[in-house]
């Protein structure tokens, strides 16, 4: 039985579209460059990685080696001319961006520069010219979780628990920094290399936001299969990321999404209702503990969902991690 997971479509709510249409195109003269802004940013930012020179002096872009395409641009492999080290370069176009999109881009870069965790893809350097910003990142060449799932069809529980623990660790770290990713999905988790037990890294912070405790977020961002119901309702907190992990775990264990539909509208309606099931042959042999774990993450009421760190202590995670360490 094959994997029924397809690449999902991003949502963009009426509030976001209204803000976008209200923005005039920001001219180069009217806004501070991203690197200039970051160089003057608050203490703690890795300003040493901000470069004011031509990236082509330092790196050779391997133009035919596309690693992926994010919200803002394509990602290519590149090689450091001096050291020979292979990196990934994400090119973000700034030419003709309206001010809202420019702020989103600058936000992504600044958030990346603050992050340092084994399960978050590392940003090494930032280059900027008149038309683009280029992010030099560690090269994760082991493919997306989406691609691995498409190849494997589904994960066994032990492997799924190991993957889930890494995702929860990354999200817990982000939440401790008051960063909500807001677009967790199979495509935004990548393996560092092609080995079976390669570490997993979180990428693409294009929709992420620095949040304030007890102050709900309202912008409607995300991807239809993975978005939490409270995001669709326009008032949510960082627990929306926990919901998305619940969707991912459901998918890697079964090879299908918990909330389906023939159209995006049908999928969104099913997400809002929060109804899913463990019926059918796909779930034959899957433990009650795994189902209980998924159910806890897919609680319709976010106040009843565990935090990322609480979820990492669930019996399904700890039992399967213990099995792995004893082998």
* Residue positions forming the annotated binding site: 90
Query: Pick the catalytic residue: 183, 204, 237, 241?
Result: 183
The C-alpha angle 313, 314, 317, rounded to 5 degrees, equals 90
Backbone φ and ψ of 258, nearest 5°:
-70, -25
Question: Is-contact 207 249, C-beta < 8 A?
Answer: no
Q: Could you give the C-alpha distances from 314 to 135, 292, 319, in angstroms and in order?
A: 36, 9, 9
DSSP state of 83: T
DSSP string over 137-164: EE---S-BHHHHHHHHSS--HHHHHHHH
Burial 18-31 (b: 16+ CB within 10 A, else e): eeeeeeeebeeeeb
Annotation: binding site for ATP: 90
- Give yes or no: 169 in active site: no
Cα distance between residue 292 and residue 296, in whole Å:
6
The structure tokens listed for 167 are: 């995702």
Contact 59, 125 (CB under 8 A): no
Helix axes 157-176 and 315-326, enclosed angle (nearest 10) = 120
Residue with tokens 């309202």: 218
- First-to-last alpha carbon distance for the chain, in angstroms, is 29
- Residues assigned a catalytic role: 183
């Amino acid at each position: 039985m094959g994997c029924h997971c397809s690449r999902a479509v991003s949502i963009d709510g009426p509030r976001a579209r209204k803000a976008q249409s209200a923005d005039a195109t920001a001219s180069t003269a009217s806004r501070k460059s991203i690197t200039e802004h970051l160089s003057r940013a608050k203490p703690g930012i890795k300003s040493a990685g901000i470069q004011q020179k031509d990236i082509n002096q330092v790196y050779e872009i391997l133009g035919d080696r596309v690693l992926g395409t994010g919200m803002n641009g394509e990602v290519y492999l590149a090689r450091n001319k001096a050291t020979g080290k292979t990196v990934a370069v994400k090119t973000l176009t700034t030419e003709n961006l309206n001010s809202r999109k420019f702020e989103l881009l600058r936000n992504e870069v600044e958030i990346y520069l603050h992050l340092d965790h084994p399960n978050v893809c590392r940003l090494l350097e930032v280059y900027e010219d008149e038309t683009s910003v280029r992010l030099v990142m560690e090269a994760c060449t082991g493919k997306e979780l989406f691609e691995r799932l498409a190849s494997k069809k589904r994960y066994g529980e032990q492997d799924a628990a190991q993957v889930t623990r890494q995702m929860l660790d990354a999200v817990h770290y982000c939440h401790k920094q008051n960063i909500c990713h807001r677009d967790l999905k199979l495509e935004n988790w990548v393996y560092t290399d092609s080995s079976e037990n390669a570490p997993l890294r979180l990428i693409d912070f294009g929709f992420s936001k620095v949040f304030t405790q007890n102050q709900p977020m309202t912008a409607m961002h995300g991807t239809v299969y993975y978005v939490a119901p409270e995001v669709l309702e326009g008032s949510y907190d960082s627990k929306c990321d926990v919901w998305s992990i619940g969707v991912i775990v459901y998918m890697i264990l079964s090879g299908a999404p918990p909330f389906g539909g023939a159209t995006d509208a049908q999928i969104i309606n099913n997400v809002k209702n929060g109804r899913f099931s463990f019926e059918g042959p796909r779930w034959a042999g899957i433990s009650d503990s795994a189902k209980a774990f998924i159910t806890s993450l897919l609680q319709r009421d976010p106040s009843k969902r565990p935090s990322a760190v609480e979820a990492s202590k669930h019996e399904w995670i700890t039992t399967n991690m213990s099995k792995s360490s004893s082998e």
